[in-house]
Amino acid sequence: MLPLIPGSASPCSNADILGHFNPLAWNVSNSPLPGVGSVDQYEVGDISGKFGMLTGRTSFDAVYEDPSMPLTGPYSIVGRSLVIHHTNSTRLRCADIIANTSTGGQLITSKAVFNGSVAGTVQLRQQMFADGSYSDVTLDVNLQASTRANLLQASLFVGSNRMNGTLCDSVGGTFNPFNMPPKSSSCSLENSLSCVVGEISARQGNVSLTQRQVFSDSVIQLSGDNTVVHRSLVLKDGDTIVACADILPDSPSSEQTFPNVTNFSRFDFRRRVADVLQLETARVTILPGSPFTVQGSDCLRVNYMVSGEVSAEQLSSVKTSAAMGVFKESDVCTKSTGGAGLLLPGRLLLALMFSVAFLLPSTA
């Protein structure tokens, strides 16, 4: 089962969300009648098979324990959907299975949009918590290869860098913040901590380029210093890059431009942004590549993202808040980056003045 497609005319259809969740490829012909066998004798997603049918009931309230239906890990049902069938097996109702955020979790979302020989999207969702911990990432992969590409599947990686315009030559190597040995024989879905973070297909398998898929990954992070946001997703056929796309934030994000500082403190910047927004520091993530010097100026720029709900007005208030201290936006920086040539180095300005003086006609 896949999550519902927003706005679909047939949200519960097999074309949209597919059939029973069966990651262990259980042979359903070996399953006993509904409600007779133990939970390990049915598909992971076959709830009525495990606990009995709803036939003839107008209301129903019961609690069951099912150790074969995890909410975390590679076989998690979170991010998928629940379907109720008519007695003739047609689909009556369906709904997404989503994480409960009332426990203090804040949702982070990002997306990579592919265009070209492979088109479509990969959406990434994760909850993070005030202490900096985080849930698994749900990847909703919906990619289609063109007839010209002639590919049914490809391997998926996280590149260390973003794209160079529309080209994939700048994505760098596979994102590996913990210096794990690449292509390790011990890397697997059940042993994901032995994997390089960016080697998604090494643990999840290849991604389909013909139909939608959902994966649950416990290694990828969307928040913190090892975020994959503002990096890239790379599709490969063997060692050949087929397509790539930047991973961009759907969660609230902004940039802050301020005069150069001698020693930039990542923690101090995050703490000040959090203080202005009145939220936990862990919810503020500095995106890769920041801070960087703004071309043609003596200013730094930081791109950052906030998990959870923050309004555009709140984000805008960060720019000129006195609480930002040395990171407060300055007119010098915003003007110099807003238009070329507004601020010129003193020697160049003096040289231009002399040039104009020599060109003016003499009044003597």
Query: Same CATH fold, 102-249 and 1-98?
Result: yes
- The residue count for the chain: 364
**Which CATH number is associated with domain 1-98?**
2.60.40.200
- pLDDT, position 102: 66
Please state the CATH superfamily assignment of the domain spanning residues 102-249 in this structure. Superoxide dismutase, copper/zinc binding domain (2.60.40.200)
Q: What angle do CA 238, 193, 120 make, to 5 degrees?
A: 45
**DSSP symbol at 289:** T
Q: What is the pLDDT of residue 327?
A: 98
pTM of the prediction?
0.87
- Residue 78 contacts residue 108 (beta carbons within 8 Å): no
Task: Name all contacts of 286-289 with Cβ < 8 Å and 24+ positions apart.
Answer: 286/225, 287/227, 287/229, 287/230, 287/249, 287/253, 288/161, 288/162, 288/227, 288/229, 288/230, 288/231, 289/162, 289/230
Q: Could you tell me the fold of the domain covering 253-338?
A: Alpha-Beta Plaits (3.30.70)
Q: Identify which of 324, 288, 281 has the alpha carbon closest to the alpha carbon of residue 306.
A: 281
Cβ contact 121:213 at 8 Å? no
CA distance 324 to 272: 5
Residue with tokens 């997306």: 111
249: left (phi over 0), alpha (psi -120 to 50) or beta: beta
In the structure, how many helices (H) and strands (E) does the chain have? 7, 14
Q: Where are the domains of the chain?
A: 1-98, 102-249, 253-338
pLDDT one-digit tens code per residue, 25-79: 999 999 999 999 999 999 999 999 999 999 888 888 999 999 999 999 999 999 9
Note the pLDDT of residue 150: 85
The single-letter DSSP state of residue 224 is S
For the chain, which residues score pLDDT lower than 50?
Answer: 339-364
**DSSP letter string, 106-159:** EEEEEEEEE-SSEEEEEEEEEEE-TTS-B-PEEEEEEEEE-TTT--SEEEEEEE
